[in-house]
């Protein structure tokens, strides 16, 4: 159970708080900001409640330190004084979530604590998802890169193999001709090349094995794994929107849908890639807008029964028809200053591994829509 840390220099208040919350919450107490910071470093604390009027370190100062060192901890300030400037200071410096006055009402306190615990749980899950997504991206990026290298190496390797066979044939003919005449020394010289050419053939075979190894996926996909796509979509939207500084409007609509086949971390990476591309495509639009729509497949439009669809649309400049044909190719990118050309290739691979599809519909100067279609679990 997540722990709530209450900090107050009055021991009686600490005893009262612990007794009041004992049946509903896991709690810890500290008599000073210094003691509280030590507890935050050694224990997982979900909620920090600090009294404002404390010696050496006020509640605002403690909240400010906690915001820097432990940003996921939800911070709440309690004081017997109703000074508005203190409340503003607490919000600006300590980034507190709630501001309560003593003596507190038990019902109000419990409601605030439950909401704070829920917020912490969401933050923690987001952090975990971020870490998993980054790990997934690194591994899949490596997989796409090596697959591309393997593809490029196959043709010259095949030519090299064929060339070795030709050289061996010609060597045999040269040896026979030399022996038929008086070129014994030439024959010995040509024969000395045979071990060298055999070694080249061995190395070529080893390189073919390496290429085949690169083409194997780095993940064993569980065909029975399912996830809540609504949760995946909402989390991805929050992550991307938080990095955009409000420069673009994002509309998120999530209809009720069944669970889909796939891993939530990998599918989350796909949604993040699509959203980032959408945000980047509207940077030069006067009223930039991106829509994220989760829905059930429409049988009338031919999408098929038992599908869940995620549409990511923007009102950007669109993609030229020639570029559209290559958008899912590894290493291809329409970005001139950044981009590896791996995001969409990786996304398409993730989706197809679980039996889904990723489609593109774009009109120049009118916008772009990516449709992610997944099978219901």
Mean pLDDT of 71-88: 72
Mean pLDDT of 286-303: 80
Whether the per-residue pLDDT at 228 is higher than 80: the answer is yes
Whether the per-residue pLDDT at 81 is higher than 70: the answer is no
Lowest mean pLDDT among 6-20, 208-222, 230-244, 249-263: 208-222
Residue whose entry in the numeric block shows the structure tokens 């010995």? 188
pLDDT score, position 340: 45
By DSSP bridging, strand 289-296 and strand 26-30 are unpaired
Position with higher pLDDT, 201 vs 29: 29
Whether the per-residue pLDDT at 311 is higher than 60: the answer is yes
Whether the per-residue pLDDT at 213 is higher than 50: the answer is no
pLDDT score, position 211: 56
Q: What DSSP character marks residue 376?
A: B
Whether the per-residue pLDDT at 82 is higher than 60: the answer is no
Position with higher pLDDT, 168 vs 233: 233
Mean pLDDT of 30-47: 91
Q: Helical H runs in 181-243?
A: 184-191, 193-214, 229-242
> Which range is most confident: 82-91, 115-124, 316-325, 341-350?
115-124
pLDDT score, position 94: 55
Position with higher pLDDT, 33 vs 152: 33
pLDDT score, position 339: 47
Q: Residue 7 — very low, low, confident or very high, per pLDDT cuts 50/70/90?
A: very high
Q: SS3 for 31? A: coil
**pTM for the whole thing?**
0.45
Position with higher pLDDT, 294 vs 196: 294
Which tokens go with 178?
Answer: 């030399």
pLDDT score, position 63: 87
Q: Residue 259 — very low, low, confident or very high, per pLDDT cuts 50/70/90?
A: very high
Query: CA 29 to CA 37: how far, in whole Å?
Result: 11
Q: What is the pLDDT of residues 186-208, one digit of tens each?
A: 776 677 666 656 656 655 655 66
pLDDT score, position 198: 61
pLDDT score, position 208: 60
Q: Residue 272 — very low, low, confident or very high, per pLDDT cuts 50/70/90?
A: confident
Surface-to-core class of residue 120, CB atoms within 10 Å of its CB (0-12 exposed, 13-18 middle, 19+ buried)? buried
Angle subtended at Cα 267 by Cα 266 and Cα 268, rounded to the nearest 5 degrees: 90
CB atoms within 10 A of CB 189: 13
Lowest mean pLDDT among 107-121, 123-137, 288-302, 360-374: 123-137
Whether the per-residue pLDDT at 229 is higher than 90: the answer is yes
Mean pLDDT of 250-274: 88
pLDDT score, position 369: 93
Q: Residue 29 — very low, low, confident or very high, per pLDDT cuts 50/70/90?
A: very high
Whether the per-residue pLDDT at 210 is higher than 70: the answer is no
Query: CA 173 to CA 196: how far, in whole Å?
Result: 18
pLDDT score, position 5: 94
Query: CA 18 to CA 142: how far, in whole Å?
Result: 51
Residues 6+ apart with CB under 8 A from 330: 144, 145, 147, 148, 341, 342, 345
Across all residues in the chain, what is the average pLDDT? 78
| Contact by Cβ (8 Å): 34, 10 | no
Residue whose entry in the numeric block shows the structure tokens 């909240």? 63
Q: How far is CA 88 from the centre of its chain?
A: 35
| Contact by Cβ (8 Å): 325, 343 | no
Whether the per-residue pLDDT at 279 is higher than 50: the answer is yes
């Amino acid at each position: 159970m997540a722990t709530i840390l209450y900090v107050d220099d009055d021991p009686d208040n600490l005893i009262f708080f612990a007794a009041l919350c004992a049946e509903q919450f896991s709690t810890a107490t500290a008599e000073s900001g210094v003691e509280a910071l030590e507890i935050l470093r050694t224990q997982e604390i979900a909620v920090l409640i600090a009294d404002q009027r404390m010696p050496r370190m006020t509640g605002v100062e403690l909240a400010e330190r906690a915001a820097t060192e432990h940003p996921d901890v939800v911070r709440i300030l309690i004081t017997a004084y109703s000074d508005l400037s203190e409340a503003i200071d607490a919000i600006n410096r300590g980034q507190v979530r709630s501001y309560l006055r003593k003596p507190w009402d038990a019902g109000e306190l419990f409601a605030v604590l439950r909401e704070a615990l829920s917020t912490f749980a969401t933050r923690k899950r987001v952090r975990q998802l971020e870490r998993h997504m980054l790990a997934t991206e690194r591994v899949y990026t490596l997989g796409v890169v090596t697959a591309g290298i393997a593809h490029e190496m196959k043709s010259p390797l095949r030519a090299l193999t064929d060339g070795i066979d030709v050289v061996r044939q010609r060597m045999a003919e040269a040896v026979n001709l030399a022996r038929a005449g008086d070129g014994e020394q030439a024959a010995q010289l040509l024969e000395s090349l045979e071990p060298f050419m055999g070694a080249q053939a061995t190395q070529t075979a080893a390189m073919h094995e390496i290429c085949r190894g690169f083409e194997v996926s780095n993940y064993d996909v569980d065909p029975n794994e399912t996830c809540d796509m609504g949760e995946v979509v909402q989390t991805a939207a929050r992550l991307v929107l938080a990095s955009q500084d409000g420069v673009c409007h994002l509309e998120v609509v999530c209809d009720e849908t069944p669970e889909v086949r796939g891993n939530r971390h990998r599918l989350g990476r796909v949604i993040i890639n699509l959203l980032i591309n959408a945000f980047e495509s509207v940077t030069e639009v006067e009223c930039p807008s991106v829509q994220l729509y989760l829905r059930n497949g429409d049988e009338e439009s031919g999408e098929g029964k038992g599908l869940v669809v995620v549409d990511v649309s923007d009102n950007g400049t669109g993609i030229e028809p020639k570029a559209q044909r290559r958008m899912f190719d590894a290493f291809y990118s329409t970005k001139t200053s950044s981009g590896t050309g791996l995001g969409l290739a990786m996304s398409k691979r993730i989706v197809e591994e679980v039996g889904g599809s990723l489609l593109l519909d774009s009109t120049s100067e009118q916008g772009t829509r990516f449709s992610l279609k997944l099978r219901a679990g």
